[in-house]
Amino acid sequence: MRRRSLAVLAAVPLLFAAACGSGGGTDTVATPAGAQAAPDLKVTGEANAKPTVAFPAKVVETSSYKVVTPGTGAVSVKEGGSVVANFTVFTWDGKENKMAGSTYDEGGPQLITLNEQVPEILRKGFTSTKSGGRFLSVVAKDALPKEQQAQAPAGQSQVFVVDVVDVPANKAAQGTAADPGIKGVKVENPGGEAAPKLTTKTSEKAPKGLVAKTVIKGSGPEVKSGQSILVQYAGKIWGSDLEFDSSWSRGGEPIIFQIGTGKVIKGWDQGLVGVPVGSRVLLSIPPDLGYGKEGSGDKIKGTDTLVFLVDVLAAY
């Protein structure tokens, strides 16, 4: 799944560290509250579309941010919360940063958690902008840990243009009971945002083809091919009850990816398109629609049928 841009955003100081030949952590120093970006930086293009930026000749060496469009959403994200956003990262020559690039070229927005790994000046921009809005942020060498600032070369400031797509409200399915599921597989739906329980230890033979059952039906629009969807999920192997992956087990933070375009396994592409947002879907995926004859890692063999329980929280 696509994670490159998100990883770069969470470690922006490393862009400078690489330039000056030093490594280190991602702890950042404070930046002035309410700092505003250089007025000579001009952003053009509609919000939620890839932007262009006109740069002055002189590089700005102080981190700052400026809300370009405030947005019309009901709430803005809070420190420590999660936000869905598109972003494009530029170097001062007006070119896109080769390490970070643009989410618009990678198939859709990213889910970003505003923890201490994200530079403070970017967190300020996020918390000041609501859904549908755009902010501009200059991330200069003062975003580096103090011990690295003296070594960092001048003129390496990065410019982020960020479009806030959504501040997700739900972390679990929000619908009504629907299909009972698949024979041999047990799903316990506790309700609310509590993690469901999936049991796949069974003597029943696995289905030969793809099976998709909506055990909780949401009331949102149907997922379309090419959209990015925000999901929670758990994955187990049919017959063994072995869990090989789960967003719930990793702290309950959803993930986001493009659906219907080959970015994930075929069983997900085929089984989740058309599902109403807010639904909980049970998928039984045969090897040819999963990881194929070679399997994946140490847990998934090429003969394994995979069982996923997927909550579709949002689609963009």
Q: What is the pLDDT of residue 35?
A: 59
Q: What are the sequence ranges of the domains in the chain? A: 4-166, 176-315
Instruction: Give 308's pLDDT tier (boundaries 50, 70, 90).
Output: very high
User: How many C-beta atoms surround the C-beta of residue 18 within 10 A?
Assistant: 12
Distance, C-alpha 80 to centroid of its chain: 15
Q: What is the mean pLDDT of residues 34-46?
A: 76
pLDDT digits (tens, 9 = 90+) for 156-166: 899 999 999 99
Q: Do domains 4-166 and 176-315 have the same CATH topology?
A: yes
Cβ atoms of residues 164 and 132 within 8 Å:
yes
Residue 3 zone, left/alpha/beta (φ > 0; ψ -120 to 50; rest): alpha
pLDDT digits (tens, 9 = 90+) for 216-260: 999 999 999 999 999 999 999 999 999 999 999 998 889 999 999
Type of residue numbered 60: V
* Residue bearing tokens 């921009």: 125
Is 4-166 a CATH 3.30.2290.10 domain? Answer: no
Q: What are phi and psi of 135, to 5 degrees?
A: -130, 160
Q: What is the pLDDT of residue 141?
A: 87
Cβ atoms of residues 161 and 88 within 8 Å:
yes
Q: What is the mean pLDDT of residues 209-213?
A: 98
- pLDDT above 80 (res 26): no
Q: Which residues are catalytic?
A: 233, 244-245, 265, 291, 308
Q: What is the pLDDT of residue 74?
A: 84
The CATH number corresponding to 176-315 among 3.10.50.40, 1.10.150.670, 3.40.50.300, 3.40.50.720 equals 3.10.50.40
- pLDDT above 80 (res 32): no
pLDDT digits (tens, 9 = 90+) for 59-68: 998 999 999 9
- pLDDT above 80 (res 46): yes
Q: What is the pLDDT of residue 14?
A: 45
Cβ atoms of residues 127 and 167 within 8 Å:
no
pLDDT digits (tens, 9 = 90+) for 132-168: 999 999 999 888 778 778 877 788 899 999 999 999 9
